Structure 1
Amino acid sequence: MRVSMKFPGEDTGPEGNVRARGYGITCVLEDGQVLEKAAANISVVRGTLSAQRAAAMSSRGRGSIDPKGGQPYAAAAMSLVFHSAHPLIPTLRADVRLFQVGDEAWYGGGCDLTPSYLDEADTQQFHRYWKDACDKYKPELYGELKDWCDRYFYIPARKEHRGVGGLFFDDMSSGEAGFDVEAFVRDVGDGILPSWLPIVERHRDQPFTEAQRNWQLLRRGRYIEFNLLYDRGIKFGLDGGRIESIMVSAPPLIAWKYNVTPQPGSAEEEVMRVLQQPRAWA
């Protein structure tokens, strides 16, 4: 395992002024038998909103944010990304985060799967886990966050979704949501590994072919395309963040081939149909 630590740290703007102070820990496991790459980031930051960040928040309906920037903020986040060496074990991405400006605090987070091959039992179990977690707070919460996840993790240029979804939420506060969002976010953080580990145990010892491994590498190309072109968190981090921590979520090996079309009736075509048209899993 490779571990790097930044404590404390500074983010300086182009004029040399300090825009953020904080600390973070990044842990990376590479070349494991199950996990080809696993990354965990924890960061706590205080700083001043840049005009770019403030404009992005203001455009999402945050009336208390001055789009010109300059307001002090505090942020904390934990993120996990696990890329398996086994093509039948889906990639797991999850995070929980807090962003505070003045007396207002907003929470975000989620947990989702990106499989190379579709296993309906895996996907149903994963979604049922998160539906049960959501039902403790509001009956319709799972459906709202599942739909949000499907909308967010979408690659317009490809007309397909990055994975089979899960939960996603952003800019959520207890006053607006009508339930204890902080408690819910704690439950999401505690539930990340239990929602995924049963899938790992079912598949880790199964044999796989070179063709399946090659398909996994092709699908990872889509993962990177989404992250670099559309992911709001990565764009936020690239505005002055630590580049190694931001890009640590990238899979270790990726392949691109021109105009790959799965064979009709194949397992590869099956997963593509689901990525193009999400299903209700729970």
Structure 2
Amino acid sequence: MAALKVLEGGSVLEKAAANISVVAGVLSPERAQAMSSRGRDAIDPAGGQAYSAAAMSLVFHSAHPRIPTLRADVRLFEVEGQMWYGGGCDLTPFYPHEADFAEFHAYWKAACDKYDASLYPEFKAWCDRYFYIPARKEHRGVGGLFFDDVDASASSYDVEQFVRDVGDGILPSWEGIVQRRREQAFSEAQRQWQLLRRGRYLEFNLLYDRGVKFGLDGGRVESIMVSAPPLIAWKYNVQPEEGSEEAKLVDLLRTPCDWA
């Protein structure tokens, strides 16, 4: 079962996609090998085991260059009675509004600290590692949370409730930024910079994202590619002007910051 809704052409949301899927099947050798290599001991790398999975994912691409792209998901994967949880929420900005980034991270730190003070630094660092573009030597955005393969039976906190809280917190973590920035004026040059930076977003998804590769292996092309930005620009070897906001953003994306 899958349910996909897409909003396009809004004054704030140029493209927003919400995807809910509940699937079941048999693990292919390729999928099984990828999972077992990450330490899932219950997975037979030869494949052939029955699995079930449920996930909700959201991707919001703003029409405004000063409102960052929001990506988030929560998911559950089960094989032979063993369950693993995953999810996260992260920002991909186009301009360096550091107070916005600090607010976003503070929100998620507070959400994690309710369960265990070690979760935020662990999941924040995981996000920084995961959303990295080696060919560009920069991170896709300013991070947030990312976690995968969390075994509820081996954790000291209520993983299921934590994941529910992550799902419930996605929009509140972003709404304050949207309300602050949505009425600000922007230039055509700033809009073009936004389109150029969106290219990095798609590069990461197609080259490195495990979820995209997993989905495309199953043939769900439209459901997977719906996360792509609606408009993108590529120009050869674009270098922002030294000292500009654009240059500051690129510098921020080269080395993760301790926002919270």
Q: TM-score, normalising length from structure 2?
A: 0.99
Give how far 1:161 is off.
0.1
**Cα-Cα RMSD:** 0.6
In structure 1, the residue matched to 2:64 is 86
Taking the aligned partners of 1:278 and 1:45, their CA distance within structure 2 comes to 35
Instruction: Give the counterpart of 1:137 among 115, 123, 140.
Output: 115
DSSP 3-state at the match of 2:243: coil
Report what 1:243 is aligned to: 221
Match of 2:237 among 255, 259, 274: 259
Q: How many corresponding residue pairs?
A: 260
- Which amino acid counterpart does residue 154 of structure 1 have in structure 2? Y
User: CA offsets, 1:111-164, max 9 Å, x none?
Assistant: 000000010111010000000000011111100000000000000000000000
CA distance in 1 between counterparts of 2:3 and 2:40 reads 29
Superposition pairs for residues 20-99 of structure 1, below 5 Å? Answer: 23-99=1-77
1:192 aligns with 170
Contact map agreement 2:127 2:147 (CA 8 A) in 1: yes
Q: Which runs of 4+ in 1 moved over 4 A?
A: none
- 1:177 aligns to what? 155
CA distance in 2, matches of 1:281, 1:198: 17
Q: Could you tell me how far 1:230 is from its partner in structure 2? A: 0.1
Question: What's the CA shift for 1:39?
Answer: 0.2
1:65 aligned counterpart, secondary structure: coil
Counterpart-to-counterpart distance in 1, 2:254 and 2:153: 35
% identical aligned pairs = 73
Tell me how far 1:35 sits from its aligned partner: 0.4
SS at match of 2:171: helix
Deviation at 1:175, TM superposition (A): 2.8
CA distance in 2 between counterparts of 1:211 and 1:278 reads 27
Structure 1 spans left out of the alignment, 5+ residues:
1-22
Q: Distance in 2 between matches of 1:92 and 1:104?
A: 30
Greater relative contact order (CA < 8 Å, ≥ 6 in sequence): 2
Normalising by structure 1, we get a TM-score of 0.91
Q: SS in structure 2 opposite 1:64? A: coil
Gaps of 5+ in 2: none
Displacement after TM superposition at 1:242 (Å): 1.4
Q: Which among 150, 158, 161 is matched to residue 128 of structure 2? A: 150
Pairs within 5 Å for 1:204-215: 204-215=182-193
- Distance apart, 1:177 and its partner CA: 2.9
